[in-house]
Amino acid sequence: MAGISGPQSQAGILSFYDAPEKGPRLNAKLVLIAVLAFTLIVLVLDHFTAL
């Protein structure tokens, strides 16, 4: 019965993801806006350098 996972085997995973982090907290909206802005800048620069 090694393939059966019960609540005790999942408790370690839950406690790992619930542990407080010391690193910076990033807002998902901020990351999305940064990625979109970077993509737009690259596309605009690519357009002007292709001329």
Q: How far apart are CA 2 and CA 17, in angstroms?
A: 24
pTM > 0.85: yes or no? no
Provide, rounded to the nearest whole percent, the portion of the chain with pLDDT above 70. 59
CA distance readout (Å), 31 to 20, 22, 23: 21, 19, 15
Spans of the chain, pLDDT less than 50: 1
